[in-house]
Structure 1
């Protein structure tokens, strides 16, 4: 019997709806779910894409000239990375001794209208161990979010969870973003998704409109579940890692508020399949619980030792298969933004480090990196 030298991890994936565009109440709900996952012995709890305070579905179902009110509400309710809401979530993780990966709408200190699709990985000591901004919004998301940067393309080496990386929604279709995590030895991959992702109106909704004449009769609505499963399974198979697929949920209050403002979207929203939350092993096979079509928490117990054997015959990172004499990849992980014009350390990141020590012992385990370590990568992968 092979020795066990990697951790066994219990993960909770929350297939849940926010309190639509209400950050204080959604944070309160998030804290309750973190506590529930911790009480069920989870090591890590995962929340959907931009869970706080909502995924901007209105951008899919109405023209931008009709969406000013929703955008203003989202901007007002979005979080500062060094704000009180994040501090409260960090305190909860430290108190409950659990890791949490949370999708948020993040606002900027420097521009009232700048919002990022972001995620934070908070440790069981209350430390932010990774802060990622989605590198490129997809399709209609570009009307809401600013492009992020490569700073969060980082795999966090933890004793409790193994080596953890994450990507947001469409980033899981980006081969180079995925490769940047594989090349850092990722063992547990978190992928987060919206509740639904409409790409077409229903036939009856377009009937009699100008859109109907130009609509393709053979076009199909985007299959949220199949697409997300395919992308996450492909990454797990290629990286030889476990995968957590965590989707949001559109509850009745969210649906009703959207339709109240955009009545023509009712049939479209009701016809689109909602996402699923589930788990995949290093072969891409599904394991553990699944939640789809309702609110709930899916759980899975993942033995990271299962990541080892598949690498023996097909390791796309190791020198047994990869050709670093042919391929050379560079990843720029500098935080981009106006804050760098005033603070060499990067404004938001400096403020995170200076948060009160009561959250946790901030200095515990923190090591300064040498220039060589900052640029260290696997083979041809170069980190700036």
Structure 2
């Protein structure tokens, strides 16, 4: 039976950042968007913290030894109106593709407060969703601030309803359910290149590859959606930077399991190449109509639930450090005007959006 639901090709980029260089990482993203578009992709996903790279040093040495790395990462943190993100947005528009990209986000309110963020960009270059990781995981708390739920949204696009979560958020059943409850059809999961928890020669360390396989399959199966998994990989530049700062860091990660990139269907089956050790792009053809049949078996946001027993409330309000109430003088009257530190960024974002539209 014919279906009017979207069909398209998805691309999961398994790639390395240009370590701690936001401008060059953004340029690399634009090149990969162009490559994926030439290969017919309509959705291109990039790894967690792709711009400007994942702060793996936080796992490998004491915080008192890592001030230089933190300063370097903070200096490369991006705001929404940055030239680097604008360049990626223009590439999405130029190639008529949806792009998901991870980045370390900064703020005008503090030079040292940064977030692990992800941006979903529409085919017209517009910002469809802006998500900050709700809870940095384990040693990531030494780097990134906790986000809020502003980005727990599913975006309606011409290729389906798209949601996204960052790394460990894919372990959070309530975060995942919040996207299921919005009719998610295509899920994007992003991960770092490695995630060490013990020296690699010790037993009991975290197996990032296996964890990704479990989480990706679970969400696809439970949500009955496609899952685009994009993970980073380590390159020579990243290893050199770590080794020059502290050679012991390279010894600690020798043999640590690498992340994987892949694409899964609504039954949890892998339908693309699985990429791990070297850079590449995993592709798969997506037919959103395939989300329908599995819903007959268990639809946890429909008939396969007990809403009289369970309830979930999600507060998606933005958490700002302060709200300022000023008096604006008009003709013959004064009225209070409420603003936050974000107001200084929004006009510039609007200006850039108009430039992209033109």
TM-score surpassing 0.5?
A: yes
Question: How many residue pairs were aligned?
Answer: 344
Match of 1:328 in 2: 311
Quote the offset at 1:104 in angstroms. 0.2
1:106 aligns with 2:105: yes
1:240 aligns with 2:240: no
1:223 aligns with 2:220: no
Quote the offset at 1:355 in angstroms. 2.7
Quote the offset at 1:258 in angstroms. 0.3
Match of 2:350 in 1: 353
User: Contact 2:320/2:340 (CA < 8 Å) preserved in 1?
Assistant: no
Quote the offset at 1:289 in angstroms. 2.1
Quote the offset at 1:358 in angstroms. 2.4
Correspondences of 1:310-325 after superposition (within 5 Å): 310-318=294-302, 320-325=303-308
Distance 2:354 2:346 in 1: 16
1:278 aligns with 2:277: no
1:25 aligns with 2:24: yes
Match of 1:185 among 178, 183, 186: 183
Q: Which runs of 5+ in 2 are unaligned?
A: 325-337
Q: Secondary structure at the match of 1:106?
A: strand
Distance 1:356 1:250 in 2: 33
Quote the offset at 1:339 in angstroms. 6.1
Match of 2:147 in 1: 148
* 1:43-92 CA-partner distances (Å, limit 9, x unpaired): 01000000000100000100000000000000001111111111111111
Q: Secondary structure at the match of 2:261?
A: strand
Correspondences of 1:231-270 after superposition (within 5 Å): 231-270=215-254
Cα-Cα RMSD: 1.6
Distance 1:25 1:261 in 2: 21
Quote the offset at 1:5 in angstroms. 2.2
Correspondences of 1:113-192 after superposition (within 5 Å): 113-159=112-158, 161-192=159-190
Q: Secondary structure at the match of 2:349?
A: helix
Correspondences of 1:362-381 after superposition (within 5 Å): none
* 1:305-325 CA-partner distances (Å, limit 9, x unpaired): 10000111210001x211111
Distance 2:166 2:68 in 1: 26
Match of 1:214 in 2: none
Structure 1 length-normalised TM: 0.87
Query: Would the alpha carbon gap of residues 346 and 202 (structure 1) be closer, same or farther in structure 2, given more than 3 Å must change?
Result: closer
Match of 1:303 among 259, 276, 287: 287
Q: Secondary structure at the match of 1:20?
A: coil
User: Contact 1:150/1:333 (CA < 8 Å) preserved in 2?
Assistant: yes
Match of 1:343 among 339, 343, 348: 339
Distance 2:296 2:341 in 1: 41
